[in-house]
Amino acid sequence: MLAANTLRVKLNLVMLPKLSILIIEDAPDLLEQIHTSITDSIDHFDRSDIDLTVLQASNVSEALQLVNTDGDIQAVIFSWDTTVNWEEITPDQQGKIANNSAVIDAIKAIRIELPVYVLGDAIKGLEIIDQTSGVEAFFYRNDIITDPESILGYIINDFDDRSETPFWTAYKDYAVEANDSWHTPGHSGGASFRHSPFISDFYRFFGRNVFVSDLSVSVDSLGSLSDSTHAIGKSQENVANTFHVRHSYFVTNGSSTSNKIILQTLLREGDEVIVDRNCHKSVHYGIVQARAMPLYLDSKLNAEYGIFAPPSLAQIKSMLEQHSNAKLIVLTGCTYDGILTDIKQVVDMAHARGVKVFIDEAWFAYSLFHPDFRHYSAIAAGADYVTHSAHKVVSAFSQASYIHVNDPDFDKDFFKEVYSIHTSTSPKYQIIASLDVCRKQLEMEGFKILNELLDNVNQLKQQVSQFKRIRILNPADFKKMFTHFETDNLGHDPLKILLDISALDYSNQEIHRFLMNEVGLEIEKFTHSTILVLLTLGGMRSKIVRLYNALKKLDSGSVSLNKSKRKSVLPAAIPPINLVTLPSDAFFSQRESIAWQDSVGRIAAGLVTPYPPGIPLLVPGQLIEQDHIDYIKALSSQKLTIQGLYDGELYVQKDNGKDTR
């Protein structure tokens, strides 16, 4: 029993949140004094709920190295008079650190969320604040030695503020009170399930907490999602602070709805909107709902691998120049396969012409929280509107989504009306709570987790490089696939591991069966030549080892699978879109379904999208031409999904019976 209790204590200690404080001071005696004073004060704070430690750095180079590698550092105390020794600064840091203000900038460039506290002479305090930005607070150096509890209390208070979860905390407290429910939902905390001989197994499977926490909007104290009040409103404010935007909103029915809310807020009937053809289908439907006119950018498809890249900057620039009345540009910031657009260049071009920028960043919600990703972050680039599918790659429940707003011209009142159109009056509180705690994780340990994931990916790449048939595609491969990859400064998210399986002698179906049935690995996406593996915040190292084990078996040919020579199944190019009417006019018109083979010359009234590659072939308002029919024919013999075909038929405008070719 003693051993079990000891083990339990150790496990609890491991799970304590860590608060490491880094002190930067180049005077050895003074550094030791400050360190000792703060360390000795820790016991004066009754904080057995956190693991509080103090670290030292005697020079800036050492400090930056610690910030870059130790994700448990949650506060930096920087002595303003510390001298920067150029001989100790690494080459990549040279030129960035010209003065002590730039030291703070360098820390923030690594970890944007990390608070920095400055120590200095009181007489220079105002001058120091004028010289820099990003300072959390200023303290007189001598006061730290004589009264270290002042700064330590300040740091702990900030730590608590950063890690608070207003909605989750209030929600959990309410749920465990076991109040007598006289309101919706009708199962009354699970009672109707528990007392039933027919459906009590449903209750037992999920457990009590799922049912007692399934609450109603009747609980006023938790706030209203549609009005952003009380705990919900405070949680959304915290998200905005963490993501460095003006406003953030929770959406509980996916980024599909988030995208539609933004589009209907910004667009009116007939408004021109420049849009990547390969945007998620919710963008196309949102444009239909707004009755706007899309101006489609070309999707860059590589047929050999069945993957696509963002449109070129040259075409975006040309489209902006040709369409001076365009109100908005909509792009996918990170493609499904992880190819990244240099959003800053797009923002600069668009804003110079008064065009707003909306980036669907569904697959890249962690982009702001690590320097390896931040250059491609839509928020860091200054986009006006950004959506994040918090459930896809970070820690939130399915359908959990963020809307981030940085537009200085944001029409909040109209936005809230559109938001109310799309938002349920009975939102799922568990989803809201998951968005609250998701923010906390990104704020407090996002950098640390991403660092570990990137290390794991690098090790996996090294091991897979020894394979004979399977390989991991990298930026050098993308440069060969897409001519604008290098010139447009496109990037790739290494956490989206794209495996080239074209050299294997097994069919996709056989590979999928082996990975799922025999090894227990559920893969995100297949094309005829690739497997996409997403490494998310839940990507533990043991999962990577299991993946490697399965890939090694496939590569060696040591598995018992039916062999089948695979070849490329995608045509080299997707026919262009020729809109002859507003998509909304076609979509909401009288329409009929006809065999797709007989649709040439008709106007499409629905969206038709083959998977892969997932790029819309037909959109509402588009003239259907022979090239589109030939494209479907080229795919018809393959086992591919074509959304928008119903029993071999597609929808067209009913009142357009004449051949308009």
Q: Is pLDDT of 660 > 80? A: no
Q: Does any domain span residue 187?
A: no
Classify residue 124 as exposed, middle or buried by CB count within 10 Å of its CB (0-12, 13-18, 19+): middle
Residue closest to 450 by CA, chosen among 490, 489, 492, 494: 494
Calpha distance 158→160 (Å, rounded)? 5
Q: Does any domain span residue 636?
A: yes
Q: Is pLDDT of 13 > 60? A: no
CATH number assigned to the domain comprising residue 422: 3.40.640.10
Question: What are 564-615's pLDDT values in tens digits?
Answer: 655 556 777 889 999 999 999 999 999 999 999 999 999 999 999 987 667 8
Calpha distance 271→249 (Å, rounded)? 25
Together in a domain, 477 and 587: no
Q: Does any domain span residue 492?
A: yes
State residue 539's pLDDT score.
Answer: 76
Q: Does any domain span residue 200?
A: no
Lowest mean pLDDT among 1-10, 139-148, 413-422, 525-534: 1-10
Provide the number of structural domains found in the chain. Answer: 4
State residue 469's pLDDT score.
Answer: 94
Tokens for 301? 């498809």
Q: Is pLDDT of 219 > 60? A: yes
Q: Does any domain span residue 561?
A: no
State residue 659's pLDDT score.
Answer: 47
Q: Does any domain span residue 326?
A: yes
Could you identify the residue written with the tokens 């939130």? 396
Together in a domain, 79 and 153: yes
Together in a domain, 543 and 610: no
pLDDT level of residue 535 (50, 70, 90 thresholds): confident
Q: Does any domain span residue 562?
A: no
Calpha distance 537→557 (Å, rounded)? 31
Query: What are the two backbone dihedrals, phi and then psi, of residue 214, each rounded to the nearest 5 degrees?
Result: -85, 90
State residue 512's pLDDT score.
Answer: 84
Lowest mean pLDDT among 249-263, 416-430, 557-571, 646-660: 557-571
Average pLDDT, the chain: 89
Together in a domain, 59 and 99: yes
By residue count, the chain amounts to 661
Together in a domain, 272 and 366: yes
Lowest mean pLDDT among 147-161, 445-459, 517-531, 542-556: 517-531
**pTM of the prediction?**
0.92
pLDDT level of residue 563 (50, 70, 90 thresholds): confident
Query: What are the two backbone dihedrals, phi and then psi, of residue 229, each rounded to the nearest 5 degrees?
Result: -105, 165
Q: Dihedral through CA 438, CA 439, CA 441, CA 447, nearest 10?
A: 120
Question: What are 21-72's pLDDT values in tens digits?
Answer: 999 999 999 999 999 999 999 999 989 999 999 999 999 999 999 999 999 9
CATH number assigned to the domain comprising residue 491: 3.90.1150.10
Question: What are 473-496's pLDDT values in tens digits?
Answer: 999 999 999 999 999 999 999 999
Together in a domain, 438 and 474: no
pLDDT level of residue 95 (50, 70, 90 thresholds): very low
Together in a domain, 144 and 98: yes
Q: DSSP readout, 182-239? A: -SSSTTTTTHHHHT-TTTHHHHHHH-HHHHHT---TT-GGG--TTTT-HHHHHHHHHH
Together in a domain, 225 and 341: yes
Query: Is-cis flag, bond preceding 185, omega within 30?
Result: yes
Q: Are 519 and 513 contacting, i.e. CB atoms less than 8 angstroms apart?
A: no
Together in a domain, 506 and 637: no
Together in a domain, 333 and 248: yes
Q: Helix (H, G, I), strand (E, B), or coil: what is residue 394?
A: coil
Q: Are 42 and 19 contacting, i.e. CB atoms less than 8 angstroms apart?
A: no
Q: Is pLDDT of 191 > 80? A: yes
State residue 183's pLDDT score.
Answer: 67
Question: What are 356-404's pLDDT values in tens digits?
Answer: 999 999 999 999 999 999 999 999 999 999 999 999 999 999 999 999 9
DSSP secondary-structure letter at 518? I
Together in a domain, 283 and 421: yes
Together in a domain, 334 and 275: yes
Residue range of the domain that includes 235: 211-443
